[in-house]
Amino acid sequence: MKEAETLFLEIKVYDDGLIRARRKDRKPLTDADRVEARRVADSLPGITVDDVLRIFPGARVIRNG
């Protein structure tokens, strides 16, 4: 799992590529917050499911657990 923070968001990227974001002030996420969370998650080092699917389009992703 990778974690990141911005001024207003706490972002977690799980090993399967799931992105969890929440505002630090606990208000609901806006569309702009979701875009920012995706941008920050994509800029973190490491490989995510989205990275793999960009290279191998149409690949089947299986979750364990």
pTM above 0.75, yes or no: no
Domain ranges of the chain: 2-55
pLDDT score of 65: 59
Q: Which residues contact 38 (CB under 8 A, 6 or more apart)?
A: 19
Res 57 pLDDT > 90: no
pLDDT single digits (tens) 1-51: 889 999 999 999 887 778 999 999 999 999 999 999 999 988 888 776 777
Q: Partners of 5 in the beta sheet?
A: 10
pLDDT score of 60: 82
